[in-house]
Structure 1
Amino acid sequence: MIAAVVVILLVVWLVIGLTSGSGDDNDAPSDSSTTSAAPTSSEEAAPSSVEAVALPQVLCMGQSYAMLEPDLTTDEMLADPAALEEKYPGSILSTIPAGCIADSTERDQVVLALGPFPSLAEACAAGTEAEVKFTAYEGSADTGLTAAACPGA
């Protein structure tokens, strides 16, 4: 009999706790909406900036690229990739994975890449058309990407 009374009291206590907890739940959505509003406001402050880790990586072998050099720092390129890519049609803000460029120790370099192209000549033509300084790269399975001189240059 005492056990039955204890069980009933526990059930009543649990029901009261859940009922009063639902009042807290009503407060929680306004708190969570405030919390979710904070990232939205920070996204509005810089809606198009990205982090380097979110960028696609260039392929290291069997392709050619023209890496544009628009005279901007990495932070400036990451601040508004969409505007940068719009200024240089066909380009993609990317990273070059560590070890991808032959004889380079740089890790995850942020670049504005045109490509991949099946040939160095096509990469050079695209880089020339961009009307900005660029470096052309050829890729192979053995060496990764290597800087190459454009034909006829």
Structure 2
Amino acid sequence: MNGLLIDALLLGVGATAFMDIVALLQKRLLGIPSLNYAMVGRWLGHLPNGRFIHRPIGNSAQIQAEAPLGWFAHYLIGIAFAMTFLVLVGPDWLARPTLMPALGFGAMTVLAPFLVLQPCLGAGITARKAPQPNTARLRSLVAHSSFGFGLWIAGLGWLL
């Protein structure tokens, strides 16, 4: 089990970092804004007070250290996704990482923002209440597909 935890930690951090690099490139080269992880931290910070849904999160009171909390959660979620991926495909995947399972899994993780985060932040299921729902959906799919691609890239690191 220890080996699986370490593998998930390295794979999750690597894939999440790759996702963030893609988001940074999209922002710098194409002007596409990425998710403000401070809003994730704000959402998490309100959970102990029983506030699960915000309409929208930007109108909710700020919490102390919301940006670091959001970024920490972002990476912790990436690690949890990597653990889930390794359990599903088997830890032997790391011996011969293949793209399609990783890419498919990454695309499937878009269900988390579609069904949990977006509704809780006030954008509705699959961002249906966002100003441009289809744009928000596409951005989420690209982000999570880049996470899947990052799983594969990070998995290749075990071969070096």
Q: TM-score range by the shorter chain?
A: under 0.3
**Structure number with higher strand proportion:** 1
Could you tell me the TM-score, scaled by structure 2's length? 0.24
| Structure showing the higher helix proportion among its residues | 2
* Structure number with higher relative contact order (C-alpha < 8 Å, ≥ 6 residues apart): 2
Larger radius of gyration: 1
